[in-house]
Amino acid sequence: MSAFDLLMGVLLIASALAAVTLKNAVHAGLALVANFLSLAVVYFALEAQFLGWIQIIVYAGAVMVLFLFVIMLLFDAKADVGLDRLPWMRPLAAALAAAFFLALAYAFSGVGPVNPLADVKLGGGLPKALGGLLYGNWLYTVLLVAALLFAATVAAVSLVQPQIRKARVKPQVLERDRELEEVGK
């Protein structure tokens, strides 16, 4: 294990912890951006260069900007609202997460080593090597994902469509109604 591995591990865990514990929602979002960027660096080290760039463009760029827009649109950036329904929720959540980590670590214990410095032929994870697979064996999966993205776009637009407003009543009509009401009295 090299110094690079240790540094990236510390960065990833620290930014992830900040993203799930910070009280200010904008700060949490920015910590998540830091997490995604360090993950992209790890991808570069693990010979997944194309994936690393996609991670930066799609996640750190598009997805997180969307998140920050919605946070700033909806809140005054408070992460904690209301009261805890269960006062011991946080320790319970931490205990469950720790148990899940132990289970995952046990499940991974049989897998061989992943060494970023070893000589493995992955073509650097460049589009030249990935494209043959994406448009070969995985073609139908790619088409399905494209259909799903299209459906999700349509769903998102129709979800946030503004409500249909009632026809605007002219002020003259309101005035006449009020006068008629006064006459009626």
Taking CB under 8 A as the criterion, which residues in 141-170 touch other proteins? 141-142, 145, 148-149, 151-153, 155-157, 159-160
Using CB under 8 A as the binding rule, the residues of this chain from 49 to 88 that contact other proteins are 50-51, 54-55, 58-59, 62-63, 66-67, 70-71, 73-75, 78-85
Measured from the CB atom, is 97 or 174 closer to other proteins? 97
Q: Which residue among 105, 164, 167, 183 contacts other proteins (CB under 8 A)?
A: 105
93 lies in the site for other proteins, by CB under 8 A: yes
123 lies in the site for other proteins, by CB under 8 A: yes
7 lies in the site for other proteins, by CB under 8 A: no
Beta-carbon contacts of residue 92 (< 8 Å; ≥ 6 apart) = 86
Supply the DSSP symbol for 176. H
With contacts defined by CB under 8 A, name the span among 108-116, 168-176, 177-185 that binds other proteins.
108-116
Neighbours of 26 (CB within 10 A): 16
Burial label, 105 (beta-carbon count in 10 A; 0-12, 13-18, 19+): exposed
With contacts defined by CB under 8 A, name the span among 109-117, 166-174, 175-183 that binds other proteins.
109-117
CB of 169 to other proteins, least distance (A): 23
From the CA atom positions of the chain, what is the Rg in Å? 26
CB of 116 to other proteins, least distance (A): 7
Q: How far apart are CA 103 and CA 107, in angstroms?
A: 6
Burial label, 14 (beta-carbon count in 10 A; 0-12, 13-18, 19+): middle
Q: Which residues pair with 24 in a beta bridge?
A: 78
Measured from the CB atom, is 113 or 171 closer to other proteins? 113
Supply the DSSP symbol for 23. S
Q: Which residue among 12, 26, 34, 37 contacts other proteins (CB under 8 A)?
A: 12
CB of 139 to other proteins, least distance (A): 11
Beta-carbon contacts of residue 36 (< 8 Å; ≥ 6 apart) = 55, 56, 59, 60, 64
